[in-house]
Amino acid sequence: MATLKFTEDHEWIAIDGDIGTVGISDYAQGQLGDVVYVEVPEAGTSFNKGDEAAVVESVKAASEVYAPADGKIVETNKDLEDNPGTVNSDAQSAGWFYKIKFNNAADIDGLMDENAYMVYVAELN
């Protein structure tokens, strides 16, 4: 079973060994409103922690999706290009953006678990 972590930038990452599946949190999609466009990275692209890895645009705003760890993209969710609304309907499952193979699993040690993230989000309102 994957371990779920969250960033302060509202990305979620489901960790399974040295692979992480990344998307935006349900809170983030709610703040964005109706998602109309998603740009995912190409498989094989490498990112450093904090790099802009994907873009999501809504009727309200455009937002970057950052890499939560150093690594290489091993798979992307190309379905989002044709069906960006999946991010609204299922942000933390079918609405995933990409899978990244970690260079250093320690990069994710400082991320929040779901309970800590819920407290973090509650403090934003």
Bridge partners for 72 per DSSP: 46, 101
- Domains of the chain by residue range: 3-124
- Residue 2 pLDDT grade (very low, low, confident, very high; cuts 50, 70, 90): confident
Comparing C-alpha atoms, which of 37, 44, 19, 1 is closest to residue 108? 19
The yes-or-no verdict on residue 101 having pLDDT over 90 is yes
Helix (H) or strand (E) segment spanning residue 52 = strand 52-58
Mean pLDDT of 58-74: 95
Please state the pTM of the whole predicted model. 0.95
Predicted confidence at residue 125, as pLDDT, reads 75
Predicted confidence at residue 39, as pLDDT, reads 96
The yes-or-no verdict on residue 52 having pLDDT over 90 is yes
The yes or no reply on domain 3-124 and CATH 3.10.450.50 is no
